[in-house]
Structure 1
Amino acid sequence: MKTVILDGQTLNPGDNPWAPIEGIHPVTVYEKTQDEDIIPRSKEADILLTNKTPLTRETLKQLPNLKYIGVLATGYDVVDIKAAAELGIPVTNTPGYANNAVPEHVFALIFECYRQISLHSEQVKQGEWGKNGQFCFWNTPQRELGGKTLGIIGFGNTGNNVARIANAFGMNILAYAPRPKPLPDYDNFSFAELNEVLEKSDIITLHCPLTADTKHIINEQSLALMKHDAVLINTARGPLIDEAAVAKALNEGTLGGLAVDVVSDEPIAKDHPFLSTPNTFITPHLAWATIEARKALMQIAADNITAFLNGTPQNVVNGVTGK
């Protein structure tokens, strides 16, 4: 069995050894793979692991030895799972590894929007507190989370854990889930249709997978339903939002704020509209990247491979159990 990892640098930049996967059998690791190198590096592989390196239908058709694809992420939109299913290749993802990391980052972004801590810290260092002459000062509105309504679009592991933290802050929670989900055991929570979530929420956070149905789920029409002072958070996938429509709403003051950890094309382009829109906070796709989460991801990926080799595949996203 030959295992190839096409883009391992982000999972293990040097602090997260490949031991759990290498302990199964030898592995070839590439830090990053350009499009033109995908087939040459993959053609002998039985097991192929990818994070953001795309595996299209045309690519998969040229990999006759391939028996298994593991996505080193929860989202698996980088793989044509339909084509893989037609070729009899199971595709797995790694759910649950960031159950703490991403929800915690969501609230870091929310607090930045509501309290702008980094701005005020810099202003203190620049002497603004001293110039003020008072025991306190603030240059942006200061808001509390208690009693606010948090709208969660998508209610898998991450959405559920975001709701758990929101409950601890005394927030009211509305969640949109296209498929039935268990109801959490606290009173200030309810499931709602998408339009109701958009209309009633003070803060909206996205936690749905990127599919044909969810691409641009936040668009001109959905923005028109939202409160003009609402804050939008996206730590899931960039294309969930129509970036041009969101930028327009921010510039026109019909959206209160935006905090994103992802954009449609990464890394972010120099002319991206979010770099100049007001009330906008951007982090460089690091919500998932705590050392604890990356170690958990590594172990889940290794467990997925072992389960596949044992004939009991787990976390399969395309319905194929073996080739």
Structure 2
Amino acid sequence: MTLSIVCLERDAVGAAFGRPRAPHRWTEFPSSAQEQVVERLRDAEVAIINKLRLGASEIAALPRLQMVAVAATGSDNVDLEACRARGIVVSNVRGYAVHTVPEHALMLMLALRRRLFDYVADVRAGRWARSDNFCFFDHPIGDLHGATLAIIGRGGLGDGVARLGAAFGMRVIYAEHKGVAGVREGYTAFERVLAEADVLSLHCPLTPATRGLIGASELASMKREAVLVNTARGGVVDEPALAAALRAGVIAGAATDVLSSEPPREGNPLLAADIPNLIVTPHVAWASRQAMQTLADQVIDNIDAFAAGAPRNRLA
């Protein structure tokens, strides 16, 4: 059997895709609009997607589709139930970002706690040249050493951040699920985590249970000197509430690599220029050269496993 493989978002991965060993026809598009998904996948048995949505309506319109190869770990853009009902295999990539995302998260923590961008901006504005002293310290600096790093999401990424935080001398705690009665061994009650965190780092998937997980009440429960780092999904945080909390000094700072809609064509509350001690990076925590190549290789390995009748990394 010759598989028709269509890659809809080639330029979303900055690495070379190899080609499957299985007989195939390969078609790729640099990018695709959502309204082009069905048209471009009409004859595909295998679809490679990254962030485009494959909902129930798209799946129903693609009777030849047999496999979805997700070029990412997160799969909230794929209707897994609709795929299961049709017998469509869905495979994702795993473990490729266990170094790059934790390193990015730690970089954001350091930048926030040490007020990196505030001092860089001051120097560029000539403040140091005008200073009466050899230095100035208008922006309070906090060490990571001795601080409490609270992690929401205990997968490979959360554990990777924990290892780096511990190497810096941080006290690491993991949050139990919000709203549960019991607390598992090795975890701390969600409300207590918010109260104790000097740095709150998010590494949970976006699900109905985690959408808006960090909102106004959660931010108000945190220390005023605490900072929030989000390298998970934008929807995990109530973005207007976070913008308001930063402006009001409810917490000391925040950094996010993700937004609720990407790219933010219609703007976003966190892109306003007047929000203090906020860092926004364009969803690049995952994108070291090494990690992207590992991801691309794993996508092809998933397709070969499917073609051999032994699908791996299955979500459906």
Please state how far the C-alpha of 1:111 moved relative to its aligned partner: 1.2
Does structure 1 retain, via aligned residues, the 8 Å contact 2:17–2:297?
Answer: no
Aligned to 2:302: 304
How many residue pairs were aligned? 307
Alignment CA distance shift 1:219-1:118 (3 Å): closer
> Whole-Å Cα distance in 2 between the matches of residues 168 and 263 of structure 1?
29
Aligned to 1:96: 95
Paired residue secondary structure (2:282): coil
Please state how far the C-alpha of 1:134 moved relative to its aligned partner: 2.8
Please state how far the C-alpha of 1:173 moved relative to its aligned partner: 0.7
Instruction: Report the AA paired with residue 6 of structure 2.
Output: V
Aligned to 1:193: 189
Unaligned runs of 5+ in 2: none
Aligned to 2:162: 163
Aligned to 2:67: 68
TM-score by length of 1: 0.89
Please state how far the C-alpha of 1:26 moved relative to its aligned partner: 3.5
Summarize deviations over 1:36-69 as a string: whole Å, max 9, x none.
2111100110111100110000100111111111
Unaligned runs of 5+ in 1: 184-189, 319-323
> Whole-Å Cα distance in 2 between the matches of residues 135 and 129 of structure 1?
8
> Whole-Å Cα distance in 2 between the matches of residues 269 and 43 of structure 1?
28
Please state how far the C-alpha of 1:215 moved relative to its aligned partner: 0.6
Within the candidate set 239, 242, 247, 1:246 is matched to: 242
Please state how far the C-alpha of 1:245 moved relative to its aligned partner: 1.5
2:56 counterpart of 1:54:
no
Q: How do 1:84-123 residues align onto structure 2 when only pairs under 5 Å count?
A: 84-123=83-122
> Whole-Å Cα distance in 2 between the matches of residues 244 and 269 of structure 1?
17
Aligned to 1:222: 218
* Identity across the alignment (%): 37
> Whole-Å Cα distance in 2 between the matches of residues 138 and 27 of structure 1?
57
2:74 counterpart of 1:78:
no
Aligned to 2:199: 203
Instruction: Report the AA paired with residue 279 of structure 1.
Output: N
Please state how far the C-alpha of 1:199 moved relative to its aligned partner: 1.6
Alignment CA distance shift 1:32-1:121 (3 Å): same
Does structure 2 retain, via aligned residues, the 8 Å contact 1:73–1:93?
Answer: yes
Aligned to 1:186: none
Alignment CA distance shift 1:234-1:144 (3 Å): same
2:277 counterpart of 1:279:
yes
TM-score by length of 2: 0.91
Within the candidate set 217, 228, 233, 1:237 is matched to: 233
Does structure 2 retain, via aligned residues, the 8 Å contact 1:155–1:177?
Answer: no
Paired residue secondary structure (1:3): strand
Please state how far the C-alpha of 1:202 moved relative to its aligned partner: 0.8
Alignment CA distance shift 1:113-1:214 (3 Å): same
Alpha-carbon RMSD across the aligned residues, in angstroms, is: 2.0
